[in-house]
Structure 1
């Protein structure tokens, strides 16, 4: 008998790393909130095509990434060090964030370079810290909402932090 308990709302986790649907739900929340709030921290809070597209794309990408995370972590835990998993999560966060920035810039008719870079940094920062406490809570069968809430609280800060980091890294762009 598995020690994992079936939730009445989500199916039984198929592995130690939890339910893909639970991950998908929570990363959709984080992705949507980050997609909306991070650019709002730089450009101001508005319902322009950029922020609405970033919200929607972040929600969908977060859901898809979340559905895949348990399988990724399950396979990686046997072959890759904790540091290696952390580096991969940062890289995936950067790639997903950059994609969201690119799509949002295209929808708004903006030049894509700055949103691509800033959203990539924001995605790397967000997934870079989020995956470990979320995974630990999942493995311990504890509620994950505190980490999801923390990610939503941090989201508005990611835009300005990404802007400053990009200025430090590539000052000639701005």
Structure 2
């Protein structure tokens, strides 16, 4: 026997809430991945550019102080390159994918809730998906607030 809409309503509402939270979290983490990638590239590129310009100034007879700028900029670029510019970005992207996967699971489970055998089955699925969401939240590095705001604007204007 299929469960009634009244029986599953509180569980469906909770799953819808988790699905919406997953949507916003996924988009925020995708925004963070893009931002982190761009910032990391700048941390490698700009010091390397300063080093190259300072080296060219010295080579054409400029002041020796440019040698210090060249050396420091080169060291910063080398350090940024060594530390890896994609680590944080990859972590954010993996988080976004986890939230996206969870959102798809939630959408599927919401569609089949009424076909579960018992209300206990519905509750079990709801609790498992809520625990999965909480696991994602607990494991992920936080995203800066301005990126959540950017994600919210994209979602609300149907750009995603």
Report the TM-score when normalising by structure 2.
0.31
Higher helix share: 2
Higher radius of gyration, 1 or 2: 2
Report the TM-score when normalising by structure 1.
0.29
Larger RCO: Structure 1 or Structure 2 (Cα < 8 Å, ≥ 6 residues apart)? 2
